[in-house]
């Protein structure tokens, strides 16, 4: 049994979910996001690559419909007791079995809240679902019901988040120990991810991002590795993970002498991050945080080099991405509240000179100023 929270913690989360459902008149949730299932029950799997659904009723019944390989997985990792299986049958869809299950739960004509906005429900399965349930019940998109509850962390979650942050720092230090002229990106990556695994963490919800030379300007991972040259730059965006909770960091390391352009970009990034910290607190929205970043960036003439977002929430996330809701972009009216875990990244990529600079870390919000969860300095890292 690998249950990472007390039963009382899961009960509190279920109570909160049931209350939010009652507020919206929802009789049962059809949960498809692995994040929702993990948060509500501990169920930990990548079995959402196939069709699966966790039904949660307003009177707190939990029924999981999944594929056989996940029966034992649900038993070993979650508090779910009622697990039903569907079987691969050529072209047959498991949605029919879901409908029967809902019928058995006496949900004919009920109002069902559905998580459509998740990688746990493909468009194909979503279409089958709508087709099968359209005349059976009243279907409403309730994709944000659980994520809104998940966005504010409990004390027990924050313990895991702090451990994830500790592992992120260790990962950076392990990477720095390998970074030098001639070093292979693959070896740097092995050292960084290895530090997380050896510390008891797991795979991140997306690849660590590692790119050097002209690829230091990228902010996604890709296949193919290179070796560092004598004067180089390497961008690292990575996360410590613990019990699926993420704490991310981002740095661009300069190898050899820094250029004037590196220093200019770094000055803008550092100042923008300070401006972000000043508004990352209750009384401000996620849009305010983005605007604080943009204002500094644009004063430094960085508008052509910056992105249209400067970070996001973190939590217990599954593939394909650790980016959680809400995000820092223009017009996002979500409010900053205490005990959120927020990753702010300042990303600059100057194509004309081929120069990259990034600076990012994860914060725990409070009633007042946010607490950085990393003990690493914000200095521009330079090797050699």
Task: State the nearest-atom distance from the C-beta of 32 to a second copy, in Å.
Answer: 8
Distance CA 381, CA 373 (A): 19
Longest dimension (CA), the chain: 70
Q: Residue 39: phi, psi to the nearest 5?
A: -65, -40
Tokens of 270: 């550092």
Torsion angle of alpha carbons 25, 26, 27, 33, nearest 10°?
-160
Q: Could you tell me the end-to-end alpha-carbon distance of the chain, in angstroms, rounded to an integer?
A: 48
Task: State the nearest-atom distance from the C-beta of 364 to a second copy, in Å.
Answer: 20
Nearest to a second copy of 169, 207 (CB atom) = 207
Task: State the nearest-atom distance from the C-beta of 366 to a second copy, in Å.
Answer: 27
Nearest to a second copy of 298, 366 (CB atom) = 298
Nearest to a second copy of 351, 371 (CB atom) = 351
3-state secondary structure 293-359: HHHHHHHCCCCCCCCCEEEEECCECCCCCCCEEEEEECCCCCECCCCCEEEEEEEEEECCCCEEEEE
Is the CB of residue 247 less than 8 Å from the CB of residue 274?
no
Nearest to a second copy of 333, 375 (CB atom) = 333
Nearest to a second copy of 79, 372 (CB atom) = 79
Task: State the nearest-atom distance from the C-beta of 250 to a second copy, in Å.
Answer: 13
Among 215, 210, 348, smallest CA distance to 273 is for 348
Nearest to a second copy of 76, 366 (CB atom) = 76
Task: State the nearest-atom distance from the C-beta of 83 to a second copy, in Å.
Answer: 14
Task: State the nearest-atom distance from the C-beta of 220 to a second copy, in Å.
Answer: 4
């Amino acid at each position: 049994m690998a249950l990472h929270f007390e039963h009382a913690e899961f009960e509190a989360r279920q109570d909160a979910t049931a209350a939010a459902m009652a507020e919206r008149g929802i009789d049962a949730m059809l949960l498809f996001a692995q994040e929702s299932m993990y948060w509500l029950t501990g169920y930990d799997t990548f079995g959402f690559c196939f069709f699966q659904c966790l039904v949660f009723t307003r009177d707190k019944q939990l029924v999981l419909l999944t594929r056989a390989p996940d029966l034992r997985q649900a038993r070993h990792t979650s508090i779910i007791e009622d697990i039903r299986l569907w079987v691969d049958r050529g072209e047959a869809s498991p949605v029919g079995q879901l409908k029967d299950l809902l019928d058995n739960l006496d949900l004919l004509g009920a109002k069902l809240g559905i998580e459509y906005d998740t990688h746990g429900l493909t468009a194909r399965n979503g279409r089958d679902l709508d087709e099968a349930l359209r005349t059976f019940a009243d279907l409403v998109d309730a994709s944000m019901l659980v994520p809104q509850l998940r966005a504010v962390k409990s004390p027990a979650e924050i313990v895991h988040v702090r451990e994830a942050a500790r592992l992120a720092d260790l990962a950076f230090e392990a990477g720095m120990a390998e970074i030098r002229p001639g070093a292979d990106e693959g070896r740097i990556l092995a050292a960084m991810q290895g530090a997380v695994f050896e510390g008891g963490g797991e795979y991140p919800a997306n690849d660590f991002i590692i790119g050097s030379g002209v690829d230091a300007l990228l902010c996604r991972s890709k296949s193919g590795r290179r070796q560092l040259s004598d004067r180089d730059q390497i961008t690292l965006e990575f996360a410590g993970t613990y019990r699926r909770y993420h704490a991310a960091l981002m740095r661009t390391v300069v190898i050899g002498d820094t250029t004037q352009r590196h220093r200019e970009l770094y000055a803008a990034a550092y100042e923008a991050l300070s401006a972000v910290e000043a508004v990352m607190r209750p009384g401000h929205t996620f849009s305010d945080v983005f605007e604080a970043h943009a204002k500094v960036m644009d004063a430094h003439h960085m508008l052509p080099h910056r992105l249209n977002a400067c970070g996001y929430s973190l939590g217990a996330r599954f593939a394909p991405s650790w980016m959680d809701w809400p995000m820092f972009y223009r017009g996002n009216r979500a409010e900053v509240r205490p005990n959120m875990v927020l990753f702010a990244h300042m990303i600059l990529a100057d194509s004309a000179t081929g120069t990259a600079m990034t600076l990012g870390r994860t914060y725990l919000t409070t009633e007042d100023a946010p607490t950085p969860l990393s003990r690493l300095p914000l200095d521009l890292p330079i090797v050699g």
